[in-house]
Amino acid sequence: MTDDSDVGEHILEVLEPLLRSCTSLVVSERTNLNHRGGGLRVTYEVMLNPGATTVHVDQEVTVERADAPRRRPSRPALPRAGRTLDP
């Protein structure tokens, strides 16, 4: 998942409760994988809960990284080249 095990653990602190809170999924315990040079690699077995047919999300969530590059503001499109409607 990442070469920085501290970052990986922080991600898992957010991800694991989300996975486990979904009643439509059955989530195994995590398995740590060996990775040359350190870091963190994990796997989960995730299956659909018997009888589950749909998953409903009640809230939209937006996540932005604090270290993400700034977005350039969009500008209006240029007018199309070509014929004009004036005679």
Per-residue pLDDT tens listing for the chain (87 residues): 788 888 888 999 888 888 888 888 889 999 988 877 778 899 999 988 887 766 666 666 666 666 666 666 667 766 766 655 555
pLDDT of residue 57: 60
Question: Whole-angstrom Cα distance, residue 9 to residue 34?
Answer: 15
List the beta strands (DSSP E) in 1-87.
25-27, 31-33, 41-43, 46-48
Q: What pTM was estimated for this model as a whole? A: 0.53
For residue 42, give both structure tokens: 């994990």
Residue in the structure block whose two tokens are 């589950």: 52
